[in-house]
Amino acid sequence: MSLLDMVSGLSQAGVRSVVIGGLAARAHGSTRITEDLDVCYDASPDNVRRLAQVLASWNAYLRGVEPGLPFVMDERMLRNTPVMTLVTDRGAIDIMDVVAGVGTYRDVLAASIEVMADRLAFRALDLPGLLAAKRAARRPRDLEQIPELEALLEMRNRMRPG
């Protein structure tokens, strides 16, 4: 299952989310390969319910946790643990309702663009938002990607008329 298939599955279920990680960077021209889907989701009750249903149908389980430990993916789990790294039947997914350096889903949505890939339209965090998130995360792998994202932003700005 591809990351785009996961994005499509979320979209088909009516889950309001914005792609924020490596797939968003790829949409802007990054050369880095990503193995998981990172999304910021709307934490409204109806959206949390839809997200929990999709993740449960994908047999979501906490990544890095010993298999077999009790885990129930439901609305209560999402409300109590709004940031999770999960493995599913469809692939790995990281979900969060707030993005450090950017803000809540509403802020992330305002800092997103529409992307079209393989006839699938979805929202992805824009380059300035990605840069803010990478800087705020301060993880070595995020900091290593900043020069490439800055170069992509500079190139995009130079190509704009005016």
Q: What is the CATH number of the domain that holds 86?
A: 3.30.460.40
Does the residue 51 lie in any domain? yes
State the angle between helix axes of 45-57 and 3-12 in degrees (0 to 180), rounded to the nearest 10. Answer: 130
Count of structural domains, the chain: 1
State the angle between helix axes of 140-159 and 127-137 in degrees (0 to 180), rounded to the nearest 10. Answer: 160
Does the residue 151 lie in any domain? no
Does the residue 159 lie in any domain? no
**What confidence category does residue 34 fall into, taking pLDDT thresholds of 50, 70 and 90?**
confident
Residue 23 has pLDDT above 80, yes or no: yes
Report how far residue 34's alpha carbon sits from residue 46's, in angstroms, rounded to the nearest whole number: 29
DSSP string for 73-126: -SHHHHHH--SEEEE-SS-EEEEESEETTTEEHHHHHHTEEEEEETTEEEEEE-
Question: For the residues 33-61, what does the mean pLDDT come to?
Answer: 96
Does the residue 69 lie in any domain? yes
Residue 108 has pLDDT above 90, yes or no: yes
pLDDT at 68: 85
Domain coverage including residue 36: 3-145
* CB-based contacts of 39, cutoff 8 Å, min separation 6: 7, 10, 17, 18, 19, 20, 21, 93, 94, 95, 96
Question: For the residues 119-141, what does the mean pLDDT come to?
Answer: 94
Residue 13 has pLDDT above 70, yes or no: yes
pLDDT at 1: 58
Does the residue 154 lie in any domain? no
